[in-house]
Amino acid sequence: MSDRSPIEEALEGAMRSRELPFQAQAKVGNFLCDFIFPAAMLIVECDGHDFHSTKEQLLADAKRDRILVRMGWTVVRYRGAEIHADARLCALEIKEILEIRTKAQIKISKSLVDWLDSQGHEVELLITDYGIAAVIKR
C-alpha cells in the first residue's frame, strides 16, 4: 500500500507524461520533499488541505521553505485543489519553470566558459537533463 497522497500520485503521473526528470519522495537536508529536480535546484510540494491549512501548518511550511531557499533551492507549492482541477496544467507550468531555470543556468555557464577561454583554457560545456558542467581540457 502506498503512503503517497492522491494529489502526489496525480501530479507524478502528469509529470511522467511530460517526461520531466524528477525524483519523488527525496530528502533535501533534513526534509522529505514530494518531488525534486536536482539539476534545476527545484522542489515541488503538493499541499493537501489536511496537512497544509491551519495557521500553524502554514507557518511551518513557510519556515521550511526559507530553510530550503537558504540551501539554494527554489520551492514551488501546488494546492490539492489545483492538482485535482488539472494536474496536466500543473505539470506544464513545472516544465516551463524548468526550462526558464535551465536557460538561466546555461547563460551563466556560457559566461564562465567565455571567461575561462579568455584565460587561455580550452573548455567544453556539457549540457544534459541532469545538469550543466564546464570541462577544462587543458
Tens-digit pLDDT profile for residues 65-79: 999 999 999 999 999
Distance CA 88, CA 13 (A): 9
Grid coordinates given for 5: 497522497
Select the more confidently predicted residue: 89 or 113: 89
Nearby residues of 13 by Cβ (< 8 Å), 6 or more positions away: 87
Select the more confidently predicted residue: 5 or 44: 44
For the chain, list the domains and their CATH numbers.
6-102 (3.40.960.10)
Strands 42-47 vs 74-79: parallel, antiparallel or unpaired? parallel
